[in-house]
Structure 1
Amino acid sequence: MGAGRRGKVRTRALAAVAVTVVVLGCAAGCGGGGPGAGGGGRNVEGKDEPGLLKVLGAAQLGHVELGTGEVPGLVIEKGSAVTAGHGRPGTDRRACRPLVVAMGSLPQPAPVASVVNTFAGPTGARDFQGLLGTIRVSSYEGDDARTTLRELRAAAAECEDGFGMTTGEGEPQRFEAVRVLPPPELGDEAMAYRLVNAAEEAPSLVTVVRTGTTLSMFFATNLADPGRVEIPERLVAAQVAKVERLARAERPPTEPPPHAGLAEGGEAGDSDGGEEE
């Protein structure tokens, strides 16, 4: 396969699965599942730690981004909103809409702010060879983070036999199945699921962890060896730990870190992405 073709496939894979999943790896959802509680997702709704309920602003979210070397064995780089897919995809099944919206760059409910990073296995390394993924950390107002996770959980259960979608670029896709996986024992509640794309041989994993009003969402696929797709446990644990530390800080920073720009904000208010009823 030529370099141009490989680049196109890689880009399509990242966008199509939102290879954003969060938030997105089972404290570690490997191909067949992962450690943690039962398949429905851990849910301790109503028992959030009071210190974690503060809404993190755009500048503050920059401090939760994982940096180079924080998760050994993985290459983590700065991403952007469109790394997870363009716009708001549509679907032929209304019940599956939360799963589809999560694969675009315009989440609903809209977060106050988000930061996006990509992760991959180092070139030439045997561990995580071919692994591609995205981390999206988003801060929400009120109960929007809880609502987002509740709707994803319901959609994953309802759409186990698959769904059709149209990407934000207008490309049709078909997912044959959705499989709920054991979630990580992290945050206030979490869930994980696996998407099986009818056109791509590589399945995609998604893990979402809620920490107060913040969602960490991980997406991953592996084009080189589909059987080895995973969201490494230490990656999820490291990301959630950074969110918790910031949320618990008595005096959280009010300025973005010197090494990064402001987190993405203003994702709210865009029109619905042409969902088919």
Structure 2
Amino acid sequence: MKPRLVRSRAATAGVCLIALAGAAACGPTSAGKGAEGSVRDTAAAPGASGANPPAPRASGPTPQVKADGALTSDQLNAAALATGDVKDFAAEPLEGGTPTGSSRTAKAECMPFVSVINGTPEPAPSATVYRRLVDTTEDGQADQTVVTEVLGAHPAGAPDVLARLRTAIDACSDGFQTKGGDLEPSVFTEVRELPAPKVGDEAVAYELMGVAQGDPVPMVFQVVRSGTTVVTYYAVDVTGGDTPQIPAQLAVAQAAKLKS
């Protein structure tokens, strides 16, 4: 099944806020449109505060890494997927600021998942860039495919991000709860490993089964390391409880662009 992210359901933003501990961006947008006239949810995305600059087009110079091997913020922007890199997909910057979440869990072994949701993976990146990837052939459809992409530059410890997630998958299979700010506790009833994309230097994929208003809310994450850059893709199904599918060509194209 595709990620099912309904435009018309008024509760979509609230459901995503609850399900992802107040830190998720959900809902399709009108690909290729600016802020006016586009359909966007009000839920914020995980990540550091501050707005992203406009998404670059596919053309342009190949990013060069810093002396420590990690890309700068500008270089991450240039390396991120752009409209035209993947057939039928538009790449949009996330609109507005992207506040960092503050959720925690009493189950310490599950904090790697919560850190990713918060936009603060461990170890923390030195620069972060966000994109929303939208299937333009499905404009107007209730189940339009929308995938959020987060690129993080890690001068040190990039492999540790994935290693900690793998350990957490085994330790948290029976779920966990989170609490952050004034939000009600969020419940995740199950964690399971999924087949990871065979791209980059290494990759891990997993599903978190959340609960919102008594309904299951499955969330799929793919985390791919290419050198010192860690790219996270995630999709949420807020309408039917089906495991979202992240199109394989996204990770393939992004890994190739980072390698070039």
Common fold: TM-score over 0.5: yes
Which of 74, 77, 99 is the matching residue for 2:89? 74
Letter in 2 for 1:123: D
Bigger CA drift: 89-98 or 51-60?
51-60
How large is the Cα RMSD of the aligned pairs?
Answer: 3.0
Matches within 5 A, 1:11-50: 18=24
Instruction: Give the conservation status (yes or no) of the 8 Å contact 2:149–2:232.
Output: yes
Whether 1:116 and 2:130 are equivalent positions in the alignment is yes
Tell me the distance in 2 between the aligned counterparts of 1:81 and 1:178: 31
% identical equivalent positions: 32
Match of 1:189?
A: 202
Go from structure 1 to structure 2 and tell me whether the alpha carbon gap of 1:166 and 1:119 turns closer, same or farther (over 3 Å shift): farther
Tell me the distance in 1 between the aligned counterparts of 2:173 and 2:243: 22
Whether 1:213 and 2:219 are equivalent positions in the alignment is no
Match of 2:44?
A: none
Q: Per-residue displacement from partner, 1:218-249 (whole Å, max 9, x unpaired)? A: 1111224442611110111111211112xxxx
Whether 1:152 and 2:177 are equivalent positions in the alignment is no
Go from structure 1 to structure 2 and tell me whether the alpha carbon gap of 1:14 and 1:196 turns closer, same or farther (over 3 Å shift): closer
Go from structure 1 to structure 2 and tell me whether the alpha carbon gap of 1:6 and 1:151 turns closer, same or farther (over 3 Å shift): closer
Report how far residue 82 of structure 1 moved: 6.0
Q: What TM-score do you get using the length of structure 2 for normalisation?
A: 0.70
Tell me the distance in 2 between the aligned counterparts of 1:173 and 1:93: 13
Tell me the distance in 1 between the aligned counterparts of 2:181 and 2:243: 28
Instruction: Give the conservation status (yes or no) of the 8 Å contact 2:122–2:160.
Output: no
Tell me the distance in 1 between the aligned counterparts of 2:130 and 2:102: 17
Tell me the distance in 2 between the aligned counterparts of 1:134 and 1:15: 16
Tell me the distance in 2 between the aligned counterparts of 1:169 and 1:10: 16
Tell me the distance in 2 between the aligned counterparts of 1:179 and 1:79: 28
Task: Give the length in aligned residue pairs.
Answer: 211
Match of 2:219?
A: 204
Whichever structure has more helix as a proportion of its residues is 1
Tell me the distance in 2 between the aligned counterparts of 1:17 and 1:196: 16
Report how far residue 166 of structure 1 moved: 1.5
Bigger CA drift: 74-83 or 63-72?
74-83
Report how far residue 73 of structure 1 moved: 3.4
Report how far residue 81 of structure 1 moved: 9.3
Instruction: Give the conservation status (yes or no) of the 8 Å contact 2:20–2:117.
Output: no
Letter in 2 for 1:232: P
Match of 2:254?
A: 239
Match of 2:11?
A: 5
Instruction: Give the conservation status (yes or no) of the 8 Å contact 2:19–2:210.
Output: no
Tell me the distance in 1 between the aligned counterparts of 2:96 and 2:123: 15
Which of 66, 83, 104 is the matching residue for 1:90? 104
Q: What TM-score do you get using the length of structure 1 for normalisation?
A: 0.66
Q: Which has the higher contact order (CA 8 A, sep 6+)?
A: 1
Tell me the distance in 2 between the aligned counterparts of 1:168 and 1:65: 31
